[in-house]
Amino acid sequence: MIVLKNVTCGYQDFPVLQDISLQIESGEFCALLGPNGAGKSTLLYTIMGYLKPSEGSVTIFGKEIASVKHSWLAKQLAFVPQETRSEFDHTVQETVLMGRYPYLGLLQSYSSEDFDTVDSVLEELKLLELKHRWLSEISGGEKQRVLIARALVQQTPFILLDESLSQLDINYQIEIMKLLKAIHSKENKTVLIVSHNLNLAANYAERLIFLKEGKILAAGKPELLMQKETLKELFTIELDIMQNPHSGRPNIIYP
Ligand SMILES: Nc1ncnc2c1ncn2[C@@H]1O[C@H](COP(=O)(O)OP(=O)(O)OP(=O)(O)O)[C@@H](O)[C@H]1O
């Protein structure tokens, strides 16, 4: 599990997260929600060890993130960033293969098993046809699916996604959430996804975490958190809630 204890963390002299304590249990499916600038990405970067807390601690399976080997961490946590920028262009296959990097031995090259793992995930995400295309020549939504594929081939117990649905059409948004839910149930993978899509988060996640101004406003089951007053506190807008007849979960009705 991942445990944050009294974490204060941010950029230079700007502490975005303030005294955050949070536990993500192994096997949970959580969605992190909150207004723009609340600190959601900063929280993921802190868990990934990209940002060092000025106060408090972050541990994974009881080990301090700051003191573990990068190679060990890469076998525990896979991260799907909002976007990727690279000086060099890569094909879809090369990009997804990078997810197998933590499993390469010294001076070793990718095995046929690595290539097979990549192919099966590409097929699952309906990307096989794009396998030899350059990243610079595919759409934003296709690129997001490639980044998700890279995280899946990393075969880690934890997967963290930063607004990874934002450029997907509604069909793929639902498909990716279903896929995450399936691997979460089948492989007991822990999923933490940042999303601005309240309804999808409420339909698929088991726990919602509401972040506002660098602090946890509330965390709990969608049925508890998707309430008019709590959402007003989070987003400063009055939203009507109804039970979704398909998922049985509370959903907002767009005004
Ligand atoms: N590299 C940086 N240097 C300084 N401040 C930053 C940096 N990145 C983000 N911030 C600031 O930190 C705060 C939190 O940003 P963060 O990206 O974590 O928010 P977020 O909740 O993910 O927002 P969004 O929903 O808009 O993606 C914002 O005020 C932002 O301007």
* Tens-digit pLDDT string for the chain (255 aa): 999 999 999 998 789 999 999 999 999 999 999 999 999 999 999 999 999 999 999 999 999 998 999 999 999 999 999 877 777 889 999 999 999 998 887 778 888 999 999 999 999 989 999 999 999 999 888 898 999 999 999 999 999 999 888 888 999 899 889 989 988 998 899 999 999 999 999 999 999 999 999 999 999 999 999 999 999 999 999 999 999 999 999 999 987
Task: Give the amino acid at 56.
Answer: G
Ligand 1 neighbourhood includes 38 CB (under 6 angstroms): yes
Q: How far apart are the first and last CA of the chain?
A: 39
Closest residue by Cα to atom 2, ligand 1, is 11
120 CA → ligand 1 middle, Å: 35
Which residues neighbour 158 within 8 Å (Cβ) at sequence distance 6 or greater? 2, 24, 60, 76, 77, 78, 189, 190, 191, 192
Is the beta carbon of 135 within 6 A of some atom in ligand 1? no
Ligand 1 within 6 A of CB of 99: no
Q: How far is CA 160 from CA 50, 107, 148, 192, 241, in A?
A: 13, 29, 10, 5, 28
Q: How far is the CA of 35 from the centre of ligand 1 (A)?
A: 11
> Half-sphere exposure (CA, 13 Å, Cβ side) for 93?
12
Count of alpha carbons within 13 angstroms of residue 126, beta-carbon side = 7
Is ipTM beyond 0.90?
yes
Q: Which two tokens stand for residue 77?
A: 């946590």
Domains of the chain: 2-253 (3.40.50.300)
Is the four-CA dihedral 82, 88, 90, 95 of positive or negative sign? negative
For 154, list phi and psi in degrees, rounded to 5.
Answer: -70, -15
Do residues 112 and 97 touch, judged by C-beta distance below 8 A?
A: no
- Which parts of 85-215 fold into alpha helices (H)? 92-97, 112-124, 140-153, 170-187, 198-204
The predicted model scores a pTM of 0.94
CA of 150 to the centre of ligand 1 (A): 24
13 ligand 1 Cβ < 6 A = no
In 3-state terms, what secondary structure has residue 66? helix
